[in-house]
Chain A
Amino acid sequence: KAGVTQTPRYLIKTRGQQVTLSCSPISGHRSVSWYQQTPGQGLQFLFEYFSETQRNKGNFPGRFSGRQFSNSRSEMNVSTLELGDSALYLCASSLGSGGQQNTIYFGEGSWLTVV
């Protein structure tokens, strides 16, 4: 069974550009969450989508957005990139809508460098 797949794995962008990252969850999983990981702030929750609806949103500016498609695949977009957006962006998928027995699996991440 394939795990959570993220593309691209590595990318370099210039300040002011925008970027789109893609995530394919584990087959059958309906929930996709996105996290940003930086050395200074650690792992921070961006947003969660379940059945194409955003259910939860972290404390990030509106430049960060996402969406989920009917096949559960998800994309996140960051517009007007800043140097501080350089980070590892992690996608996580899970089967259900939450609860104690709902395991969350992470993808390998997309490493974004903004120059």
Chain B
Amino acid sequence: QKEVEQNSGPLSVPEGAIASLNCTYSDRVSQSFFWYRQYSGKSPELIMSIYSNGDKEDGRFTAQLNKASQYVSLLIRDSQPSDSATYLCAVPGGGNKLTFGTGTQLKVEL
């Protein structure tokens, strides 16, 4: 079983809509979770981190964590074409090792 799973997409949403990206993980002891954004041909960029159950908001981004269900999600409000990218969910695996999901490609259409 893969440690971190994401739907590869593409997920298409119209401009101004809410984009919902989901991630499940297998290791019940995981304590922190990260969302990275990666534009085509570029390196991953950290956009959100979450450590506690519940919601964490940062601008148009909201991360949601449910440890009981081993589920973490990322909501992007008022989606813009510039949000079109691949979104990677990552879980720490000791030290500074990160285990990534395969990523969800988001397309925001005009």
Contact = CB atoms under 8 A, between A and B. Distances in A.
A105 B49 CA distance: 13
30 contacts: A31-B96, A33-B96, A42-B101, A42-B102, A42-B103, A43-B88, A43-B100, A43-B103, A44-B100, A45-B98, A48-B95, A48-B96, A48-B97, A50-B95, A55-B95, A55-B96, A58-B97, A90-B43, A92-B96, A97-B96, A98-B96, A100-B49, A100-B51, A104-B34, A104-B46, A104-B96, A106-B44, A106-B45, A108-B43, A109-B43
B31 A33 contact: no
Nearest to A40: B102
Nearest to B100: A43
**What is the interface residue range for chain B against chain A?**
20 to 34
Name the prevailing secondary structure of the A interface residues.
Answer: strand
Interface in A26-51: 31, 33, 35, 42-45, 48, 50
Contacts of B99: 45
Contacts of A90: 43-44
Interface of B: 31-32, 34, 42-46, 49, 51, 88, 92-103
**What is the interface residue range for chain A against chain B?**
20 to 34
B5 to A, nearest CB: 11
A98 B45 CA distance: 18
A107 B32 CA distance: 22
Interface in A72-109: 90, 92, 94, 97-98, 100, 102-109
Contact of B42 (A55, A102, A105, A108): A108
Contacts of B34: 104
The list of the 5 closest CB pairs from A to B, nearest first, reads A43-B100, A106-B43, A42-B102, A56-B97, A98-B95
Given A44-B100, A100-B51, A109-B43, 19 more contacts: A33-B97, A33-B98, A42-B103, A43-B100, A43-B103, A48-B96, A48-B97, A55-B95, A56-B93, A56-B97, A90-B43, A90-B44, A92-B96, A94-B96, A100-B31, A100-B49, A104-B46, A104-B96, A108-B42
